[in-house]
Amino acid sequence: MGPWLQIQRVSPASLAVSRYRPQPKGREVIGINRPVRARKFCCFVALALCCATAHGADLNKVLRVALVAPETGFDPQAINDLYSNYVVREIFDPLYKYDFLARPYKVVPNTAAALPDVSADGLTWTIKLKPAIFFSDDPAFKGKRRELTAADYVYAWKRLIDPKLRGFNVQIFDDRLVGAKEAIAAAKKTGKFDYDALLEGAQAIDRYTIRIKLNFPAYDLLSDLTSVATAAVAREVVAAYGDANGWIMENPVGTGPYFLKSWRRAQQIILEASPSFREVRFPESAQPEDRALLAKMRGKKLPVAGRVEISVIEESNPRLLAFEQGQLDYITVPTDLVPKVLQGDKLKPEYAARGIVL
C-alpha cells in the first residue's frame, strides 16, 4: 500500500488515531490511498506506530509528510504540543503503547516485558523491562552501545516533575508517586532538583525492574504510561546537550525506531531509521477487514521507510498542491477542501485516473 490522503471533517487532534485505520463510509474521516514509485508500505501506520526496526528499513525509501503547525522541539518531558509529540514518538519509547488493531483498542507492552504486576491494594506496581534494547548511537555515549535500563525511566520521571523543566504532563506523577510532592517542594526551595536522591515512588530495584509506589490506587496510570512524556531518557544525553532549562529539544536521543538526522525549525524535520533499534514485526490483527487491508505488511520488519521527511505546511491549499505534485505521500484535507477531491462520496475522476482509491 502507498501514501494516504486523508479527508478530515474534524479537528486535527484526531489525526493520530485516524492514521491507524481508515474509517468506514459514513464516518467523519475518509482515507484515500495513492500508490507511488517504490514506497510500498502502510504510511498511515509508519509515522504514528512506535514499533519498527531499522534492520528492515530501506534508506532509499522515503516517507514525506507534513505538519499543519510548527513543532517546538523534541524533549519528551518538555514538549507541550501535538505536532512535536508526533515526531518524538518515533524517537523515544514509553513502557507501553496502544494496540490500535485490537477491538477495542488496548494497552500492550512496548519496552516492558509484560503488563504491570499490581499489588492487591493497587499501591505497588512492578514492571519488568525487555533486555537488549539500545539507545541510538550518539557521541554522548562515548563510542559504547548504551542499553536501556530501569534507571533511565526513573530518571525521566524525575525530569517530568522537576519544576525547572516546567513539564506539561507533570500531573502524571506529581500527586501519585510517593515522595513526589516532597521532592518538588525541595527543588522549589533550593532551586535545583536532586536527581540522586531516592524517590520512593519510582525506583529501579535492579537493571530491568521498576517499582512504582502510589499514594492512592490509580489504575488509569497504565494509560499514562503510554504517553511519550514518560519515555526513557539517558542521563548522559542531558548532561551532554541539556540547555539552561535542562531541555534536550535539539538533541533527542532515544530507543525508538528513528533518530533526528536534521532539523530546520518550523520548516523541515528529517528522521532516519536507527541501526540500533530492536527487531519488531508488523502486528497482526484479529479483524477480517484489517487483515485484508494490511496483508502486504504481515510479518514485515519495520519501518520499511529508512527516512522520514517532515515539512511544516500550515495552509491547507499548499499542502494539497504539494500532495498532487508528488511532494508529499500523506496529508489531511480539511472540510473546506473536500469538494476539490470528492464528487459526492466518491473520488473525482481526475484523482481516480491517477490511481487514487478510497
Q: Where are the domains of the chain?
A: 4-70+266-352, 96-241
Q: What is the pLDDT of residue 302?
A: 72
CATH 3.10.20.30 fits 96-241, yes or no: no
Question: Between β-strands 305-312 and 4-8, what pairing exists: parallel, antiparallel or unpaired?
Answer: unpaired
Burial of 312 (0-12, 13-18, 19+ CB in 10 A): middle
pTM of the model: 0.84
Residue 90 contacts residue 338 (beta carbons within 8 Å): no
Tell which residue, 193, 184, 179, 172, has the closest CA to residue 94: 172
3-class DSSP state for residue 214?
A: strand
Q: Using CA atoms, how far apart are residues 299 and 72, in angstroms rounded to an integer?
A: 35
Tell which residue, 202, 218, 209, has the closest CA to residue 122: 218
Cβ-proximal residues to 148 (8 Å cutoff; 6+ apart), any chain: 93, 111, 129, 133, 134, 135, 232, 255
Question: Between β-strands 4-8 and 330-333, what pairing exists: parallel, antiparallel or unpaired?
Answer: parallel
* pLDDT < 50 positions in the chain: 1-3, 8-55
Tell which residue, 324, 279, 236, has the closest CA to residue 34: 324
Q: Using CA atoms, how far apart are residues 282 and 300, in angstroms rounded to an integer?
A: 5
Cβ neighbours of 62 (radius 10 Å): 17
Q: What is the pLDDT of residue 4?
A: 54
Q: What is the pLDDT of residue 5?
A: 57
Side chain identity at residue 224, one-letter code: D
3-class DSSP state for residue 347?
A: strand
